[in-house]
Each structure stands twice: as C-alpha cells, then as structure tokens.
A and B are shown apart, each in its own frame.
Chain A
Amino acid sequence: MTRLDAQTWLAEHGDYLFRVARRQLHSDELAEDAVQETLLAALSARDRYAGDATPRTWLTAILKHKIVDLIRRQVREVELPRDQDGEEAVDLLFKQDGHWAEPVRPWGNPHTEAELSQLRRVLDECADRLKPAMAQVFSLREVAGLETAEICKELDITPTNCWVLLHRARLFMRQCLELNGFDQAGAV
C-alpha cells in the first residue's frame, strides 16, 4: 500500500460509500461522517488489508461497522419508545373490527434499471419520513440487519417495544410505498 491510496479511495469509492451510507442513515451529514470515519479507519488499518478483497469490498465492510456505530449514537439522542402518534396512525389503517380500511394492492415488477432506481429513491424517501424512534429501530433491523435482541440491548428497550415499533414502521413504510407508486411499478 502506498501513501497515496487513501486519497485514491476517496476519489474512486467516495461516492459509492456515500450512497450506501446515505440510504441507511437518512442524512447527508451523517453519511459524510460515515465516509470520513471509514477512510480514516482504513488508513490506520491499511497494513491489515491483505488484498484478497477488492478495495471497495474492504472499504464497504468497514463502512458497515461505522454505520451501525452512528445509528447507535444517534438513537441514544432520541426518546424511545413512547410514540403515541404512531398508535393513532395505525388506527387509521384498520377498521374498528380489525379489517384493513383499504385493500392492500399488489406491487408491480420493475424491469428496467430506471424503474428500479426510481423505486429505491421512493424507498429512501419513505424511510426518511418515519418518526425518529421508528426510523432508528427499522434501520438497525432492516438495513443494518441486527437481531432484535441486539437492538433491545443497545436501546435498553423490551422486545415488545421493539416489535411494536417495527410493526408500525413496516405498516407506514408499505403505505408510503403504495402511495408513491410501488403498486404501479413496471405496469405496462
């Protein structure tokens, strides 16, 4: 490894790392922090880089740890998990007797790269709109892929609270996706 590598990593993989971070952290600022911390960590660990993975794969692996760290740090600043608005919003999705208020429309099947890219944009926008407590639990679970036991431990909440937040987040996500065209994706 030469001393030039760190700047080359930034030039060649900076945008890629930023995109991966942006869609998990829902914030430009945090995603920039994640990229910076990743490259600095890579720089100090470059002797351990064996070269059996591509630089991008190696950097992405470091980035994943940094993203989880940043989500954890951020979560502590958010009040968990009393989210009364969430409860009322869920009430609107169902009738009194527990049936769906509106039919659940199937999602389309995107084919082209442009369609997929549009869907990803909607996915990110919907995730950005979740309430902070929900967004964090949802990101740790669905994006970072942590087990709920780890999430509960990190946030010091009960598994029940965790499941309630995930259930609401998922209901809101699918509603938001449907309202923003997932049900028409790839329709001819």
Chain B
Amino acid sequence: MKWMPTCRETTELASRAMDARLSFADRMALRLHLAICKNCAQFNLQLQEMRRLFRVETGDSDDAVALAPDARQRIAAELQKELDP
C-alpha cells in the first residue's frame, strides 16, 4: 500500500478492519485517509452502524413478518409426531 491509499483502497482497508487486525502500515494508511476524507469517514461509520443493526435482536419488532398458517400447522404436526410416537 502506498503512503496514501485511494478511496477505493480505503474502503477495502476499512472493511478488512471489521474482520481482522490490520498490519501497522495498513492501520496508519487507513487512519490517515479517514482523517482527511469525509466520504470514507462516513463509509467507515456506516460499516459499524450496519453491524450494530444486524446484530440487534429484532424478533420483537412489530412488522408483519410472521409464520404462515400452513407452516405453523406443519410444524405443530411434526411436534405432535414426536410427542405421541
């Protein structure tokens, strides 16, 4: 990596930093670019925000997603089979 990565290269570094520890040189390059580039700084924040949103348990949300009646019946029947062998 050159002393100053491009935005495209910076998004690769920022993404990889979410998954692994970067080398010292890569960490410095990332930090340097993020300090002067609003777009990449924003991108980096959004990576973290996405992770937060995905890892939150959202089974409680009130949206219309629910078991379809036929699926529910099928599952109930499978359970019943186990209950009365």
Write the residues of chain A forming the contact surface with B, with a CB cutoff of 8 angstroms.
3, 6-7, 10, 14-20, 22-23, 28, 32, 35-36, 39-40, 43-44, 60, 90, 93-94, 97-100, 103-107, 113, 116-117, 119-121, 123, 141-143, 145, 147-148, 159, 162-163, 166-167, 170-171, 173-174, 177
Contact = CB atoms under 8 A, between A and B. Distances in A.
A172 to B, nearest CB: 11
B75 A120 contact: no
A19 B83 CA distance: 25
Contacts of B12: 163, 167
A91 to B, nearest CB: 9
B58 A94 contact: no
B78 A36 contact: yes
A19 B50 contact: no
Q: How large is the interface on B (under 10, 10 to 19, 20 to 34, 35 or more residues)?
A: 35 or more
Given A17-B59, A36-B75, A148 B20 contact: yes
Contacts of A147: 19
Contact of B54 (A3, A15, A142): A142
Given A36-B74, A145-B55, A18 B79 contact: no
A128 to B, nearest CB: 12
Contacts, number: 142
Contacts of A97: 6
Interface of B: 6-9, 11-12, 15-16, 18-20, 38-40, 42-43, 45-47, 49-51, 53-55, 57-63, 65-68, 71-72, 74-76, 78-80, 82-83
Given A10-B75, A94-B8, A97-B6, A107 B62 contact: no
A107 B15 contact: no
A105 B42 contact: yes
Nearest to A126: B50
Contacts of B57: 20, 60
A163 B68 contact: no
A100 B39 contact: yes
Residue of B58, B66, B80 contacting most chain A CB atoms (<10 Å): B58
A168 to B, nearest CB: 9
Contacts of A18: 65-67
Nearest to A148: B19
Nearest to B41: A104
B68 A15 contact: no
B79 to A, nearest CB: 5
Contacts of B16: 163, 166-167
A74 B49 CA distance: 27
Contacts of A15: 65-67
